[in-house]
Copies of this chain bind each other. A is one copy, B any other.
Amino acid sequence: MILTVTLNTALDITYRVRDLRPHASHRVSEVTERPGGKGLNVARVLAALGHEVTVTGFAGGATGRVVQEQLTAAPGVVDALVPVTGATRRTIAVVDEQSGDTTQLNEPGPTVTPAEWSAFQEAYEDLLPSMAAVALCGSLPPGVPVGAYAGLVRTARAAGVPVLLDTSGEALRRGVAARPDIIKPNADELAELTGSHEPLRATQDARRRGARAVVTSLGAEGLLAASPEGRWRATPPSRVHGNPTGAGDSAVAGLLSGLVEQLPWPDRLARAVALSAATVLAPVAGEFDPSAYAELRGRVAVTSEVTAA
C-alpha cells in the first residue's frame, strides 16, 4: 500500500465554451469534473498501474463529499481523507474552443483549524505503519503551518517509511531540511530553493540541503536525477505535444511505484518519463494514455551523468 497526502484537495471542473469574452454570458457546452490536487492525481495514476493506494489530506462541505465519492469510484483507491468544517475548493478551467486556451478560476479553499491539523497528524501517524511509501504533494492550505511538510517527513522517517516530497517555496525549503528520501522539483522550484539556474548544479545542491535523492523535471526534456546510487538524465524519444497538466504528478507516481517495486534508478526514471509523456498525449487532462505509456517505456534514453558536482 502507498500513501499519498493532499492537504489542499480540490474538485477540478473543466468547462468548454466557444469563445470566452469578459462581461458576456456564455453557455457551457461540456462539463467534466474529477477529484484534484496533486496527491489525488498521483493516487489515480498509481491505481492505474495496479498499486493499492490510500489517500489522505482534508475534505469538507458538499464539494468534499463529491471528491470522496468520485475517488472511491476508482478501483484500488482507499479514502482516508480527514474532515474539515470548511468546503473543499473548486478549480474551474474554462477552455476556449476557438483558441484552445484555458482561463483558470481557483477557489481559496477552507482554512484548516489547529484542531483539524492535529487530527490530520494523528490520522497520518496511524496510517504510516502499513505503508510501503508516502508522497507529500502540493501546496499548503490556509491555517496549516509552513513547516507542516518538515514535520510529516520526520514522522515518516521515524516510522521507517520512504517519503517523497513534491511542493514548492518555503514549504519545500523547510521540508528538504527534514531529509526526505526524494524531492521532485521542476527547474523553477529548484532555482528558487537553491538560487542556481543551472539544473545539474542545483540538483546536486538540493541534495546537500538534505534530500537523499533529487529528481528535477526539465519539462519536455525529461528528468535529471541525483542520488547516492548515481546521477542520470532520462529523455523521452521525441518531443510530445499535448496538455502538460498532471505530467509532473504522473512522474511522481512513476518514481514511487518504482521505489516500492525496488526497481533500479534508471528503470524508475524511464517509467516516470514515459508516464509523463503519455499524460501529455492523453486526450483528457491529467490522465495517461496506456498504449502510449507501453510504447514509450522502452524508448526513454537514460544516460549516466558524470559531470562533477
Q: Is A104 an interface residue (CB 8 A)?
A: yes
Interface bin, chain A: 20 to 34
CB distance from A278 to the nearest CB of B (A): 25
Among A268-285, those with CB < 8 Å from B are none
Closest to A62 in B: B66
Contact A99 B23 (CB under 8 A): yes
Distance in angstroms between the alpha carbons of A20 and B15 in the assembled complex: 16
Contact A28 B101 (CB under 8 A): no
Among A8-50, those with CB < 8 Å from B are 15, 17, 20-29, 31
CB distance from A9 to the nearest CB of B (A): 15
Distance in angstroms between the alpha carbons of A94 and B107 in the assembled complex: 12
Contact A22 B62 (CB under 8 A): no
Contact B62 A23 (CB under 8 A): no
Contact B108 A24 (CB under 8 A): no
Contact A96 B23 (CB under 8 A): yes
Q: Is A148 an interface residue (CB 8 A)?
A: no
Contact A26 B62 (CB under 8 A): no
Contact B22 A22 (CB under 8 A): yes
The quantity of this chain's copies bound in the complex is 2
Contact B22 A96 (CB under 8 A): yes
**Per-residue interface assignment for chain A, residues 100 to 135, with 1 indicating a CB less than 8 Å from any chain B CB and 0 otherwise:** 011111111000000000000000000000000000
Q: Is A92 an interface residue (CB 8 A)?
A: yes
Distance in angstroms between the alpha carbons of A206 and B69 in the assembled complex: 50
- Which residues of the partner chain B approach A99 to less than 8 Å between Cβ atoms? 23
Q: Is A157 an interface residue (CB 8 A)?
A: no
Closest to A26 in B: B105
**Per-residue interface assignment for chain A, residues 63 to 83, with 1 indicating a CB less than 8 Å from any chain B CB and 0 otherwise:** 001100100000000000000
Distance in angstroms between the alpha carbons of A47 and B23 in the assembled complex: 32
The verdict on A23 contacting B101 (CB below 8 Å), with A31-B107, A107-B28 known, is: yes
Distance in angstroms between the alpha carbons of A26 and B89 in the assembled complex: 13
Contact B23 A105 (CB under 8 A): no
Distance in angstroms between the alpha carbons of A24 and B31 in the assembled complex: 20
- Which residues of the partner chain B approach A24 to less than 8 Å between Cβ atoms? 103-104
Closest to A31 in B: B107
CB distance from A89 to the nearest CB of B (A): 8
Among A209-255, those with CB < 8 Å from B are none
Q: A20-B103, A27-B108, A94-B105 are in contact. List 8 more A-B contacts (CB 8 A).
A: A15-B107, A21-B103, A23-B99, A23-B102, A26-B104, A27-B106, A62-B62, A92-B92
Listed by A's residue number, 20 A-B pairs whose Cβ atoms lie within 8 Å are A15-B105, A20-B22, A20-B103, A22-B22, A22-B103, A23-B96, A23-B99, A23-B102, A23-B103, A25-B104, A25-B106, A26-B105, A27-B106, A28-B107, A28-B108, A31-B108, A62-B62, A92-B92, A92-B105, A94-B105
